[in-house]
Structure 1
């Protein structure tokens, strides 16, 4: 079975190459070009393609992939909100994903963002490099004894809850489908969580129901001086409303690994370019905001698990086994 890997980086190839000997009947070609309407025709001659969270898998692209004979789309990530599942189903293309690669990897970055934005370690590092040892602008708040609100209690949310508990924080949780086995989690309504939490950490998928769940109205319900962290999907937050909240001093700190306009330049070196919009620059201009480049998954363990599950998904499709990680409409 021949599979074309779009948007492949050196680290992708390194981790997949380690595991390829265990799957001798799967032939992988890595290309740097990402998947767009203009590059979909490169899939000619392949049975499947593998894409990441920043690929364009909309209607036009799916139809072109089907035209090229593609029968399988492998997502080497958990999210699939960039995939037109309806068109894929109509074209007879199976979509498989990696539902869980390392919950701890994402949760640990979420807490890293909390600490960075709260204690201004990113600013302190730059100041010290310039021999500026003043403490001006570096004051934070204790997390111990505060209340952490976990929105979404899947594997990543639960991992974040464990970390917050280790910091001595009280826990509140919200999920459409509460996990009744988590007896030490205090499930409350979203409204209660927003109004009672000192730290709010988002760990839910992007769906029509969760799109812009953090907006002007929900921000107004939050405590003054709240810390907000998002390591899930940028679309969970209405960026314009977030910026307005930051300017109104609603937030003590904000940590973002994902943001709405990231799809055009995520994982790209844009240091020599003038960006089309200024949203990211506006966020970076605030002293209490810390941004990273969608790197929650970026650990040795997570990348190993992603490669393992992706190849197992391909093998299951090739051999007609049960597709345990298939994504349905």
Structure 2
């Protein structure tokens, strides 16, 4: 199958080239993201392969349909960057990678918690400069702390199990409660109760119209003073302007984010020799108690290989007319 792969990173191409020896698809790589200005690059291809940074609204999808594209394959689990209804309207199938390594993202959330708490990122730089003092490095025990988990799907479930290993009390909110998690000690509460009772809150839910800005000023007002907030899910779950206010008022004591509401055009790129034009993220980076990573939660060898394998299999399933087990279907 002839596929145009957009927003290609060098590591992705290396994995795809190696794994595609078995699948034998015709892949063409583009560093450019797929959007209204780059749709013409898809001419002559049966399908496009995209990432979270690609934006496929109805205008883009209409153009893709006119070019003969029949398949959109996401190298991600989330699909909020695709107009699914428009794809259906123009008879384009949308496939994704629903699960690749929940451990990778869950473990990254733990890394953010431990780093923010014990300030190891600051210690690294201080020790390299010969400063071995303990000033301003005081942390807290995770043992017996109450951890609130918003979303207990595959990633959230792994996160819960890891935090139970630290001896934490786990309270959770999800529209669908897991009996397996209940059996090992996870207690489900209402959304407001989780906000009120948790010392640490970690987000593991998808971004939808209903969950957009799930955490805003109203939500922050319900939280404990000095709470730690972790987001490795989607940036749009948090209203960033309200986060800044919560940090300034010390309602939020710690913020760890691997995703950012306006990360498009920023994450996955090097701005070390230029000026970042995003004033909001510059403000966030100015806080000593904020830790930002560039959407790397998924970035392990095991996860990347699994993502690429499933992506290639999606091409094959579509090409051979097989059941599309990873198709995105809106009700």
* TM-score > 0.5 by shorter chain: yes
Distance of 1:279 and 1:125 partners within structure 2: 26
Equivalent position of 1:135 in the other structure: 134
Distance of 1:36 and 1:46 partners within structure 2: 16
Structure 1 consecutive aligned stretches of length 4 or more whose deviation exceeds 6 Å: none
Q: TM-score, normalised by structure 1?
A: 0.98
Equivalent position of 2:304 in the other structure: 303
Distance of 1:133 and 1:59 partners within structure 2: 56
Equivalent position of 1:322 in the other structure: 323
Task: Summarize the alignment of residues 133-172 of structure 1 with structure 2, pairs less than 5 Å apart.
Answer: 133-172=132-171
Distance of 1:194 and 1:20 partners within structure 2: 46
Quick check: 1:76 aligned with 2:57? no
Q: TM-score, normalised by structure 2?
A: 0.97
1:255/1:291 contact within 8 Å kept:
yes
Equivalent position of 2:200 in the other structure: 199
Compare 119-128 and 154-163 and name the one that shifted more.
Answer: 119-128
Q: CA deviation at 1:306?
A: 0.2
Distance of 2:122 and 2:57 partners within structure 1: 39
Distance of 1:260 and 1:117 partners within structure 2: 21
Task: Summarize the alignment of residues 1-329 of structure 1 with structure 2, pairs less than 5 Å apart.
Answer: 1-24=1-24, 26-182=25-181, 183-184=183-184, 185-329=186-330
1:118/1:288 contact within 8 Å kept:
no
1:44/1:68 contact within 8 Å kept:
yes
**Which SS does the other structure have where 1:74 is aligned?**
strand
Distance of 2:315 and 2:275 partners within structure 1: 39
The CA RMSD over aligned residues, in Å, is 1.0
Alpha-carbon displacement from aligned partner over 1:3-58 (angstroms, at most 9, x marks no partner): 0100111100111122112112x211112111121111111110001000111111
Distance of 1:170 and 1:3 partners within structure 2: 47
Q: Which runs of 5+ in 2 are unaligned?
A: none
Distance of 1:294 and 1:255 partners within structure 2: 12
Distance of 1:63 and 1:169 partners within structure 2: 50
Equivalent residues, number: 328
**Which SS does the other structure have where 1:261 is aligned?**
coil
Alpha-carbon displacement from aligned partner over 1:155-214 (angstroms, at most 9, x marks no partner): 000011011011110111110111223222211101111111111000000001111111
Q: Which runs of 5+ in 1 are unaligned?
A: none
Compare 200-209 and 269-278 and name the one that shifted more.
Answer: 269-278
Q: CA deviation at 1:61?
A: 1.4
